Amino acid sequence: MIPLAVFERLEKVKQASPLVHNITNTVVTNFTANGLLSLGASPVMAYAKEEVADMAKIAGALVLNIGTLDEAVVQSMMIAGKSANQHDVPVILDPVGAGATPYRTDSVKRILDEVKVSAVRGNAAEIANISGQNWSIKGVDAGEAQGNLEELALSASAILHTTVIITGKVDFVSDGKQVIKVFNGNQLLTKVTGAGCLLTSIIGAFLAVENHPVTAAAAALSVNGIAAELAAEKADGPGSFQAHFLDSLHNLTEEEIMNFSKVKRGSGHDL
């Protein structure tokens, strides 16, 4: 994927400022909303079963994030997800910590059984868990184990019948046929809670303006990663990084994207 294509998708997000409806965990609501605002999207958080169907149907994308589940939230995710499906609003799922407890694994299965999702984003352990493959996990942030991640993305996509995004040092996007690798990013992202959750919501914003999930995800990953690279240059640690990262997301220029975007086919050829 050429850098210009990444930039064009970002411009579309900024122009449309899509409403991104997040049903997400209580840890990351603030950072997710601020990240989406910095990007140029319009975040909304709504959880009550009384209103999620109404909110999802007017949204550009729906984000389901299981970071701090309970039964009320699962129920609301089902209602919102079905409403989104009925109104052709793309849905993206973040299976935070799937595998850490049976409840998380089961909840993801229930959601995937009832809601058609356009994409799933997680680390390798989470994606392996929800697609029934073997991988290790500790808590919700781990999963940096070895393994053929490209293969995992392909097989998980085929099993789950959706676009799969595995993020880590390198990011992998697959629709079950092709794999795209994104090489942008910085290690400080792993020291900011909810950086992955925000990334899922950013992919949601791109899905709202770009029908092709692989293209939307690759562009979002590159934008997010470049913002992190630029922020890391100015940061003294995870605290200042967080502020610089939001600044960078907001200020990202065409020139920066043209210079730094690195999105490649799995085989090594350009997309």
Residue 260 engages a second copy in binding (rule: CB under 8 A): no
Residues 6+ apart with CB under 8 A from 133: 152, 155, 156, 159
What tokens were used for 50? 């009384």
CB 184 within 8 A of CB 224: yes
- Please report whether residue 133 would count as binding a second copy according to CB under 8 A: no
Shortest spacing between CB 222 and a second copy, in angstroms: 19
Amino acid making up residue 23: I
Binding status of residue 247 toward a second copy by CB under 8 A:
yes
Ligand-binding annotation for 163, yes or no, is no
- Under rule CB under 8 A, residue 240 binds a second copy: yes
> Hey, how many other C-beta atoms are within 10 angstroms of the C-beta on 236?
8
Asked whether residue 45 is marked as a ligand-binding residue, the answer is yes
The yes or no reply on residue 144 touching a second copy (CB under 8 A) is: no
Is 233 one of the binding residues for a second copy (CB under 8 A)?
A: no
Does 242 help bind a second copy (rule: CB under 8 A)? yes
Q: Residue 64 and residue 62: Cα distance in Å, rounded?
A: 7
Dihedral sign computed on CA atoms, order 33, 123, 68, 93: positive
Binding residue (CB under 8 A) for a second copy from 1, 10, 55, 64: 55
> Applying CB under 8 A, does 83 fall inside the site for a second copy?
no
Size of the site for a second copy (CB under 8 A): 64
With DSSP H G I counted as helix, E B as strand and the rest as coil, what are the percentages for the chain, rounded to 5? 50, 15, 35
Q: Which residues bind a second copy (CB under 8 A)?
A: 19, 25-31, 33-34, 37-38, 42-51, 54-55, 58-59, 67-72, 97, 100-104, 138-142, 190-194, 235-240, 242-251
